[in-house]
Chain A
Amino acid sequence: MDKIDKKIKSLIQQDEVISPKAEEIFNNFFSENNIEKNTINKHNRVYKIRKIIAIITCIAGLLGGANVYASTNGYGNVFFLIKYLVTGEKTEITNKNELLSDRDITISYKPISLTENLEMQIRNLQIKDNKATLIIAVNEKNNTNITPLNYKLLNSTEKTLCEQKSSKKALEKEYLEEIVFNGITKDDEVVKLDIYTSYNTNLAKITINLTTKEIIVDGEKQALEQISEIELKQFLSDKISSKYKKSQKEKIVLNLRDISYCAGLYKADINYVFIDSDNTFEIDYDNLKVSALTAYFTFNKNNLTDMFSIVKLEENNTE
């Protein structure tokens, strides 16, 4: 076997030919300059790439810093700042940009009924130094075992901006909540407010549009669409009549001023009068006594006989 190995070895090792191209590579490499050049070229390439990356990073950092400066100083962004520095003209900031400057946006004084005994008004959004404060008024009409509430604020992409517990003091019935948060940007047209009970059950989800100031209670649209106003009016007429009608001759005329829904509970603001059913064409408008009340009720679409159930009838001031 050794003989075969020797024979193969001699056969193979006779051949020392390498291609001219490979020979050229060796020759180039052997010349001192080229060793340097080859190495330096490779180093230079890496160095150049690193240099470019460093320059890009510096520019990005500068632009980022300038953008923060520009936005906090009312220029909107860095490009408007540059424009201001060059031309001296300050660019008018749009509504969207205003969200980042000092503002006090009145949202709504319309109450939202979380339960028949608990109302809420989402009143203001104050923005100062990129910090936002949402001011909410809470009114507890009677004792309720679900307060103090917990609040969670989210932006339009469902990112949590803050979680906060109620500031309610022990015996307070009417109080203001100030929910402080940051992280809101000019791209956030809405903020979402999740309200939780003291035992952390979700009570309501409310979307506040910061541009239109519209407040959308989660599920309200669908809840309102599924009830029939005719049937509701009939139901409320029967309920109010049975409670307030003084004689069989009286006939109720009822007007639904407003109807809203939150957290499974409907609220209807109603005006009503009782008229004499024998003289419906001779109404004494001067002496007509219009009453107002708020009805809290639930709706059960699967129960055909008792679709609505009154939770509470609350008398308002008589007009």
Chain B
Amino acid sequence: MDNLTLARKGDKEAFSKLIQGIKSKLYKTGMAILKNNDDVCDALQETLINSYKNIKKLNNPKYFNTWIIRIMINNCYEIIRKNKRVSEINEKMQQNMDNYYEIYCEKSDMENLLNKLDNELRLITVLYYYDDFSVKHIAKILNIPEGTVKSRLSRARKSIANIYKLNEDID
């Protein structure tokens, strides 16, 4: 029996293995939305508990990744909603922190790349290029039309290509 079937039957070890395989995707997706490590950790905690409790309800095992990423995204949006009141104050603080990090800390390539993208492009980029979801799946996860996913991906692609001058390299 595969891990997913075992996990659905309540096998904790099998569930852990499933999470192990997707943990960085969960984290990157959270970072793409929240841009704040503490908030992402809160969302992760909730996602792990919610998914462990509800995995029995997952009807089609082949959609496990889509399902758990959707839970993660929902929890991220929930955190945004909760933080909305203080977000304006935090935004200024965050800007200052961002400047600090840019000057004194080295960020990973991916974080540097993502931070140069608009909010709506950042999540699409992570879902498509990092999490390996198809356009169809992303449309389902984000509950938006496939056309919108494609147009955002196209914009993201152009931005990234410009940033890294990929056209020149490939050419």
Contacts and interface: CB of A to CB of B under 8 A. Distances in A.
Interface in A10-42: 11-19, 21-22, 25-26, 29-30, 32, 35-36, 38-39, 42
B93 to A, nearest CB: 19
Size range of the chain B interface in the assembly:
35 or more
Q: Is the interface of A mostly helix, strand, loop or mixed?
A: helix
A22 B111 CA distance: 16
B45 A25 contact: yes
A9 interface: yes
Interface of B: 12-13, 15-16, 19-20, 23-24, 27-28, 37-38, 40-41, 44-45, 48-49, 52-53, 108-111, 113, 125-126, 129-130, 157, 160-161, 164, 166-167, 169-170
A15 B44 CA distance: 19
Given A4-B161, A14-B110, A38-B48, A19 B27 contact: yes
Nearest to B169: A7
A246 B12 CA distance: 117
A39 B48 CA distance: 10
22 contacts: A4-B157, A4-B161, A4-B167, A8-B157, A8-B166, A12-B110, A12-B113, A12-B129, A12-B130, A21-B41, A22-B23, A22-B27, A25-B44, A25-B45, A25-B48, A26-B20, A30-B19, A35-B52, A38-B45, A38-B48, A38-B52, A39-B52
B16 A35 contact: yes
A18 B27 contact: yes
A282 interface: no
B109 A11 contact: yes
B166 A9 contact: no
A39 B129 CA distance: 33
A186 to B, nearest CB: 46
A5 B108 CA distance: 20
A32 B170 contact: no
A17 B38 CA distance: 15
B19 A39 contact: no
Contacts of B28: 15, 18
A11 B41 contact: no
Contact of A30 (B20, B111, B161): B20
Chain A interface size range: 20 to 34
A18 B41 CA distance: 10
B129 A35 contact: no
Interface string A286-309: 000000000000000000000000
A19 B110 CA distance: 13
A21 B111 CA distance: 17
Contact of A22 (B41, B113, B169): B41
Contacts of B125: 8, 12
B76 to A, nearest CB: 13
A15 B38 CA distance: 19
A15 B28 CA distance: 10
A257 interface: no
A17 B108 contact: yes
Contacts of B129: 5, 8-9, 12-13
A3 interface: yes
Given A7-B169, A8-B129, A38-B49, A19 B41 contact: yes
A7 B23 contact: no
B44 A19 contact: no
Contacts of B44: 22, 25-26
Contacts of A42: 49
Contacts of B108: 15, 17
B12 A32 contact: yes
B45 A35 contact: no
A11 B13 CA distance: 32
A39 B41 contact: no
Nearest to B167: A4
A68 to B, nearest CB: 43
